Amino acid sequence: MTALERRASVSLAMIFAARMLGLFLVLPVFALEAARYPGGDDPARVGLAMGIYGLTQAVLQIPFGLASDRFGRKRVIIVGLLVFAAGSLLAAAATTLTGLVAGRALQGAGAVSAAVTALLADQTRDEVRTKAMALVGASIGLMFAVSLVAAPLLVAQIGLGGLFAVTGALALSCIAVVLWGAPPEPAKHKNMPRGRLSEVLSHTPLLRLDVGVFILHAVQLAMWMAIPALMVQAGLAKADHWQVYLPAVLASFVVMGATLFPLERRGYLRAVFLAAIGVVVLVQFGLMLVAPSPSLAALAVLLFVFFCGFNVLEATQPSLVSRIAPPHARGASLGVYNTLQSLGFFAGGAVGGWLSKSVGAQGLFMTCAALMLVWLVVAWPMKAPRPRKSAEEVLADEAQAHT
């Protein structure tokens, strides 16, 4: 990467991470804390409050991406961050579950994922774009890890409203990163062909990844409708949940770094990707077995294994989309991908709350296992994308062809 590409990758990953932290920071404690609000005794409504963020994200992701093409990436990102911050402050001031739903919905209306990833694609060459997209994907996994560790500690000091206020402050600080941290937007190429939505929706390899990101984030949110209560049932106070999360998260990052990148260089990306899906499937079955009488040791092991699989999938999927998508349709591909990701957030929260109420934790984890098995079947025919040639290699090939 050039210095400019590193600057673009780091600054835009920071923006993406801060926005995702708005979702993840309340995830480990939301189900428990929301029960204190009027109306919070209904798990289905709590799940709706958690997942409504993803629904508004999904509705507005493609319009925000199209607006960034017309009005400029940075302008749209700043508007989205302001909307996100306003939603965070509304949720911080909420005194009822209905107020939380409204705040979360407004948070999600700041749908800047497609605009951020499109700007990153604008700022990087083809041969390094996979690294840049992987950095964004890794930032999601890192924010999830940070939230699981920090949320129980923070909520004990400042409450759920305080968590939302912190999220709003982070969003406002990211505006400074957009204005002065990210490199200037490149000049637009008016004659560049535009990707069509119909082209993206008929691209089978991309559709496999779209299905996968929907299922992964639906399962992720659904799990945390039950896991905090299982931890409490196992005898660990909610303020101490970080004692399980922190070792599991840190160890899983070590495992990912020691396996994913070396095996990808050796050509085993497909095997690692499918194995990570299988690992998450096994975790769901394990949680289903321990749910009736959970122990801290069993939950700690299962969460460690889950994070190993989740981090691999979260780091590789955006990279695969950027490599598989036709260059002229990359923006449309990322818009659809982020839309399905947001729909997964909504479905996981809303349906997860309903399942927790209707069939209990065991039924919830059984449903998650079934969804992951569907993804494994869908992903099985995938092929690892061929590495793109660098600019130097292309020039060398052209010179050789002329001779």
> In which element (H, E) is residue 303 found?
helix 296-324
| Minimum mean pLDDT range among 20-29, 92-101, 200-209, 230-239 | 20-29
- CA–CA separation, 87 and 36 (whole Å): 20
Task: Give pairs for 209-212: CB < 8 Å, separation 24+.
Answer: 209/317, 209/320, 209/321, 209/324, 209/337, 210/336, 210/337, 210/340, 211/340, 211/375, 211/378, 211/379, 212/277, 212/313, 212/317, 212/375, 212/378, 212/379
CB neighbour list of residue 75: distance below 8 Å, 6 or more residues apart: 68
How much of the chain is in helix, strand and coil states, percent to nearest 5? 85, 0, 15
CB of 147 closer than 8 Å to CB of 21? yes
DSSP characters over 241-293 = THHHHHHHHHHHHHHHHHHHHHHHHTT-HHHHHHHHHHHHHHHHHHHHHHTTS
Each residue of 314-363: pLDDT tens digit?
878 877 887 787 766 666 677 788 788 878 877 887 788 788 878 888 99
> Structural domains in the chain?
3-184+197-384 (1.20.1250.20)
DSSP calls for 36-92: GSTTTT-HHHHHHHHHHHHHHHHHHHHHHHHHHHHH-HHHHHHHHHHHHHHHHHHHH
Distance CA 132, CA 129 (A): 5
Instruction: Give the pLDDT mean for 114-131.
Output: 75
pLDDT tens digits along 51-96? 787 788 878 887 887 777 778 788 889 999 999 999 999 989 988 8
Looking at per-residue pLDDT, the higher value among 281 and 52 belongs to 281
pLDDT of 90 reads 93
pLDDT for res 277: 94
Please report, for residues 71, 161, 350, the alpha-carbon distance to residue 52 in angstroms, rounded to integers and kept in the order given.
27, 17, 7
pLDDT of residue 195: 53
Average pLDDT, the chain: 81
Query: What is the rounded average pLDDT of the residues 118-138?
Result: 73
| Residue 88 and residue 167 in contact, taking contact as beta carbons nearer than 8 Å | yes
DSSP single-letter state for residue 383: -
Distance CA 332, CA 40 (A): 39
What is the percent of the chain where pLDDT is above 90?
17
pLDDT band at 190 (very low <50, low <70, confident <90, very high): very low
Averaged pLDDT for residues 367-381: 93
Phi first, then psi: what are they for 207, rounded to 5°?
Answer: -65, -35
| Confidence band for 160, pLDDT divided at 50, 70 and 90 | confident
Residue 20 has pLDDT above 60, yes or no: yes
In this prediction, residue 366 carries a pLDDT of 94
Residue 194, classed as helix, strand or coil, is coil
